[in-house]
Amino acid sequence: MIESRAWLRRYSLSNLLMILAQNPHATDVRPLREWNRHGRHVRKGEHGIRIWAPRFQRSPATAGPQPDRDGDRVDDHVRRLAGFILVSVFDIAQTDGDPLPDPAGPNRCALLSGDAPAGLWEALARQVAAAGFTIDRGECGGANGITDFAARTVRVRADVEPTQAAKTLAHELAHILCEHDKRADLRRETGEIEAESVACIVAAVCGLSTLDYSVPYVAGWAADVTAVRQSAERVLSVADRILAHIDDELTQPELTEPRTAVV
């Protein structure tokens, strides 16, 4: 599930689990029309992967025509959710046509070494700062990073390479955004697994692979099915929240310089 989220950000947790239940080896799942737009075509005889899609109906607006964001008037009907219907999507392995880039990026590596994607540390550091925490680099007592909620600080080991440093910063940011200081009944193991899972997804979407390190650590999560689902929903929500900010910031050239002091 963690690995798949790198290419399934569009789908809900329920649909993600449905896809993986029907095709555990899926690597890139899209609707037929989208494959066609990218120059690929589903092979004859292939069976679709069934997922739930929202069904909307148009109904009269109660307040009459409404302006859109540009101030223009739109029609006097609005769309409302009327339910869900089963639709078919297809994995790339069921298609032929033009090649597509690896959704996880070209730099899939087992070890966290080398340079991180440009601007990733800075984008993560700004989110840490926005949450009211300062960042430093130094000794972490054998860990790669430490979040001190009382002191409002995040520390990342100074002697790790940039790739590992960025992944660790994503892990510590996940502790903050998952509100691990406010959940009184939270087991430490669950908090660490949630944070590592978020970091795994963020890293994968940004073109890094941390699975060789993370999967053995996360494996103990599966002891309780209810806890798995609750944590999974939180993990996907927080990972998508972090990635949305990264997407926004890395498309703005003026935000490429770091704004958070790192010592």
Q: Pick from 194, 198, 177: which is nearest to 186 by CA?
A: 194
What does the H/E/C string look like for the chain?
Answer: CCCHHHCCCCCCHHHHHHHHHHCCCCCCEECHHHHHHCCEEECCCCCCEEEEEEEEEEEECCCCCCECCCCCECCCEEEEEEEEEEEEEEEHHHEEECCCCCCCCCCCCCCCCCCCCCCHHHHHHHHHHHCCCEEEECCCCCCCEEEECCCCEEEECCCCCHHHHHHHHHHHHHHHHCCCCCCCCCCHHHHHHHHHHHHHHHHHHCCCCCHHHHHHHHHHHHHCHHHHHHHHHHHHHHHHHHHHHHHHHHCCHHHCCCCCCCC
Interval 130-162: pLDDT, tens: 999 999 999 987 788 999 999 999 999 999 899
Q: How far apart are the first and last CA of the chain?
A: 36
Is pLDDT above 90 for 42?
yes
Q: Answer yes or no: pTM beyond 0.75.
A: no
pLDDT(106) > 50: no
Q: Does residue 196 register a pLDDT over 80?
A: yes
pLDDT band at residue 190 under the 50/70/90 scheme: confident
Q: Is 107's pLDDT higher than 60? A: no
State CA 121 to chain mean position distance.
16
- 198 within 8 A of 178, measured Cβ to Cβ: yes
pLDDT, tens digit, for every residue of 210-223?
Answer: 766 565 556 555 55
